[in-house]
Structure formats: C-alpha cells, structure tokens
Amino acid sequence: MTTINYRTVDVDGFSIFYREAGSPTFPKLLLLHGFPSASHMFRDLIPLLADRFHIVAPDLPGFGHSDMPARGYTFDRIAATIDRFTEVVGFDRYAVYVFDYGAPIGFRLAVKHPERITAIISQNGNAYEEGLSDGWKPIRAYWQDASQENRNALKEILKPETTIWQYTHGVSDLSKVSPDGYSLDNFYLSRPGAEDVQLDLFGDYKSNVALYPTFQNYFRTRKPPFLAVWGRNDPFFLPAGAEAFRRDIPDAVVKFFDTGHFALETHAAEIATAIRDFLR
C-alpha cells in the first residue's frame, strides 16, 4: 500500500494544499495539474510511481483545496507562487510532469531555473501554435475583444456538462472514466468566486501563447530530457503539438494513447510505465 500524505503549507500568505508520497531520498517529481481539475487528477498515477520517486502534487491557487485568489490572478502570479512552493517544500532539483494549465506554469519554472529541472514530462501540455485546436476560437475571441459579451460566452466552458464532456470526449470505453474526477471538478467550479477567477485565466491564457517562443528557445538551447505522453483525441491540444517538441528537442520521446484530454483517467498504468522507463 502506498502512503499518501495530504498537507497544506503557507506560501507567502497563500495556503497551498498538496499531496506527497515516496521517500524524500528518492528523485523528486513535481506534478502540475490543469483546468478545471486539481491534484486529485493524479490519484491513480501517484501510487504507481511512489516506490521510485518523491512526489509532490499541489493544487494551484484558485483550484482544489488551495486558497482562492482575488480577481485578476494571472499565470505569471500562479507560476511565482508555485516557484516559491517548490522552495518551501525543498524541491531544489526535480523532474516536472505538466498537464494543460500546468504546462505554461511548469515551463515558466524551467525557463527561470533551468538548473533545477532534471526532466520534463508533458501530458497534453502545449507550447506550440500548431497544437491549439479550433476549440480555442471562443477564448481567442475574448483575447482580441475583452467585452462582456465575449466573457459571458465563455461561461459555457464552466458548465457541469462541459466538464464531463472534457473527460469523455475521445474515449472509446466510457466505463473506464470514473465520475470521481469530473464530480470534484464541478464541485470546485461551483464555489463562490470560482467563475470569475476562471474567466480571468481564460483571458490571461494569451500570455502563455505569447511565451511560446521563449519556451521553445529554452527547449532548443537547454534540451532537457523530454517525454510527451498524449491523449491522441484531445479536442483542445492536437497531436501536432506533441510532435512539435521534437523540432527543438530531437531526442524527445513522444507517445500517443487512444484516449482524450484527461488521459490519466483511462491510461494511468501505461503512462506510469512510460515515465518509469523514461526516467530510469
């Protein structure tokens, strides 16, 4: 049985919740979740890796059990908080697993502290324009015109049925998708203040796209050991985004799985095996 500890820590005035497993003597692995989830998305992966890695999986500010920030929170500020979080919990050198929102946050950490990053695993975590599907059109419209009409249109993405669709789209056997993940996500999204925080982040996502050349320059110059594990049927981040990592890191390993955006819901065992082989 794997022991997983559930902790909170103060990070410059923010209460950050995190899951921790594995011996502190093991190589360190930081898990960064995406929208609209929290560290519970790693509930199946952590037990499969804790015999080899010291794992820490925080809830990002505004997500899960971590503090809800005020309006106007940005990806730069989230990355700064998680950067300080790694220092508070003693993660001085670590591999990082990034997914969705976790990718631009993790890539910011890598650009700022390349000496701390031992490897990167990206699971449907994009850094290339060709990786963005047409599903981003409503959000792009808000980037170009931050009108109340365009903001209100994005509320569709926050509806419970949309969350469920994110989990089930592209999955061939829906019986493999536990309701636990999307039910928790919908609970967190229903909290007072959560809607505006998420809409603000939709608007600020353009800052991540603006940083794509910076991320790509880091990949090209530093060439970190890199593994992409990708749900092939993701409606938001296309397979071309996974293949693009090889353009800047020729030795990058790219593996596709016949599933959707939340690939860990159906392929946690296969992804864990890929990580263990890659980081061996």
**Is 261 a known active-site residue?**
yes
Q: What is the CATH number of the domain that holds 79?
A: 3.40.50.1820
Q: Band of the pLDDT at 207, cuts 50, 70, 90?
A: very high
Q: Band of the pLDDT at 59, cuts 50, 70, 90?
A: very high
Residue range 93-119, pLDDT digits in tens = 999 999 999 999 999 999 999 999 999
Q: Band of the pLDDT at 161, cuts 50, 70, 90?
A: very high
Catalytic residue, chosen from 33, 40, 261, 267, is 261
Total structural domains within the chain? 1
- Decide: pTM greater than 0.85: yes
Assign 3-class secondary structure to the chain: CCCEEEEEEEECCEEEEEEEECCCCCCEEEEECCCCCCHHHHCCCHHHHCCCCEEEEECCCCCCCCCCCCCCCCHHHHHHHHHHHHHHCCCCCEEEEEECCHHHHHHHHHHHCHHHEEEEEEECCCCCHHHECHHHHHHHHHHHCCCHHHHHHHHHHHCHHHHHHHHHCCCCCHHHCCHHHHHHHHHHHCCCCHHHHHHHHHHHHHHHHHCHHHHHHHHHHHCCCEEEEEECCCCCECHHHHHHHHHHCCCCEEEEECCCCCCHHHHHHHHHHHHHHHCC
Residue range 224-240, pLDDT digits in tens = 999 999 999 999 999 99
Residue range 35-55, pLDDT digits in tens = 999 999 999 999 999 999 999
Question: What gap in Å lies between CA 15 and CA 59, rounded to an integer?
Answer: 10
Average pLDDT score, the chain? 97
Give the model's pLDDT for residue 72.
Answer: 80
| Mean pLDDT confidence for 74-103 | 98
| Mean pLDDT confidence for 216-221 | 98
Residue 280 pLDDT more than 90? no
Q: pLDDT > 70: what percent of the chain?
A: 100
Q: Are 61 and 69 in contact (CB under 8 A)?
A: yes
Structural domain harbouring 49: 4-278
Residue 147 pLDDT more than 80? yes
Residue 1 pLDDT more than 80? no
99: CB partners within 8 A, 6+ apart: 32, 33, 34, 41, 122, 123, 124, 125
Residue 125 pLDDT more than 90? yes
